[in-house]
Structure 1
């Protein structure tokens, strides 16, 4: 089984440590709490938390080990430059080797093209699925979609009813994005991050969350009391975790269960 244990001062810190090392999101793993840890009394009796991250993403489960998962974004096909004179024992061997290499390269290219076409087809169907939902809400909508080099699927929406599609603090847009995520992965039979955006809302929201996190970290330090945020999706909590990583004298963790999980900032 593809799994690994992580130890940190809190359960959330251990989870974030594991997700960062493996470059994963929470929905790609099953989390088992081995030891919730103890805060202790003035440091006495304190113990670290330990969690186990188990890979559940169908695509990643095809890899052979945790190391393969960690290195999956860094691995490249090795090219060995060997002089032809060293490769060839005779002309017949050389000809067959070159012919086989050409066929392998052609097969690999065809496979890559087929995979890309499959992704684009799934993306087109997902785009139309979301359009149909929004139109059923009585709203006008247009959409354009792209597959980034990172593998992320982005569906950009355009509408005169953008505010209604976004909803309060992005709740409607987030719900539509979840539907798009599930629909796409059902068609493509593999994990792929789907982002739904309209009028550059995601970038604006990211900036808002970062500023809010920085301001609330100052409040947590000044008051010496934990600052709790309203529930928000995992990727929004991750934005706040990341911006606060290098700030001294505070720690961040999440509490509650999805979809009511929220971020907490606490002074050390």
Structure 2
């Protein structure tokens, strides 16, 4: 228990000596806090004594439990216990009377309640190992070693479209696109391009003002193509993929995206930091993935939701040249 004592003297050292003499302790056994260094004054006028506070460790004093008056009276009455009872004291200093044990009492013969026996490992039925348990386990790879799978769409299964259906699709798509551009006040001429895939219809738009048809990064051209595809496949029994182009924009855009992809990949390899491209439609994202699928040191994946989904070019040391 930590205790304190304040003492005074003409100066600080004398006040400390006075405190030590009162306690009977050495200087090393106490901690001193100077409360006031004191003042000598002038010719004894205005002087103040020095005052210190000494802290020291003292043994803990046993706590005295004051019993109520009623308990004291009951204790006096039970001063002479009866022969058949024995007085004991519990942990909380409360007297309790119990009957003495009989003369033939044998504690080792007390009946103990039987506990249910625990089933040992040998008693537990063993699960039969399946045939899969005998197969060699595949080595476990850490999370850091798991490759980032780019969100490149899998190769589609091309379903050929009949010649009759394709002829009908050409007439419907050409008429819809031409009529829509007429409503927009854009002079146009829609022609059918040679077929490159068995389920694809390719159309080309020609005219004096195709900048308005293309729009920013091909947004207007993509929107017209999307609307025409909805109308087309809503009327046909077979699925036809529509590709709309003007002034060879699709090919020029693909070349531009491939150059952008390689440029970003070189930056990623040099800085070891991921680069996030601007939002693109699924067709343009596929161009980026395809352009960098064999580029050493980088990997690509898509993030976000449409229409703000973007391609991320990230460093990949496992694909770098050693």
Q: TM-score normalized by structure 2?
A: 0.49
- Any stretches of 5+ residues in structure 2 without a counterpart? 1-145, 317-322
Whole-angstrom distance in 1 between the partners of 2:201 and 2:194: 5
Which structure has the highest helix share of the two? Answer: 1
Q: 207, 219, 244: which one pairs with 2:292?
A: 244
Q: Secondary structure at the match of 1:257?
A: coil
Indicate whether 1:9 and 2:57 are aligned.
no
1:184-203 alignment runs, 5 A limit: 184-203=232-251
**In 2: Cα distance, 1:123 partner to 1:159 partner:** 19
SS at match of 1:155: strand
Residue 139 of structure 1 corresponds to 186
Give the TM-score taking structure 1 as reference length.
Answer: 0.59
- Residues in 2 aligned to 1:149 and 1:158: alpha-carbon distance in whole angstroms: 20
Instruction: Say which structure, 1 or 2, has more relative contact order (CA 8 Å, 6+ apart).
Output: 1
Mapping for residues 224-243 of structure 1, pairs under 5 Å: 224-243=272-291
Distance 1:149 1:172 in 2: 24
Aligned residues: 170
Runs of 4+ in 1 over 6 A off after TM superposition: none
1:253 offset after TM fit, Å? Answer: 0.4
Equivalent residues of 2:177, 2:190 under 8 A apart: no
CA offsets, 1:160-218, max 9 Å, x none?
11111001111111111111222222222333221100011111111000001000111
* Secondary structure at 2:262 match in 1: helix
C-alpha displacement at 1:147, in angstroms? 5.7
The question of whether the paired residues in 2 share the 8 Å contact of 1:120 and 1:147 is answered with: no
Report the equivalent of 2:20: none
Shift of 1:159: 1.1
Contact 1:145-1:155 within 8 A present in 2 as well: yes
Quick one: distance in 1 between partners of 2:312 and 2:301?
Answer: 5
Contact 1:123–1:184 at 8 Å: present in 2 too?
no
Root-mean-square deviation (Å)? 2.1
Partner of 1:182: 230
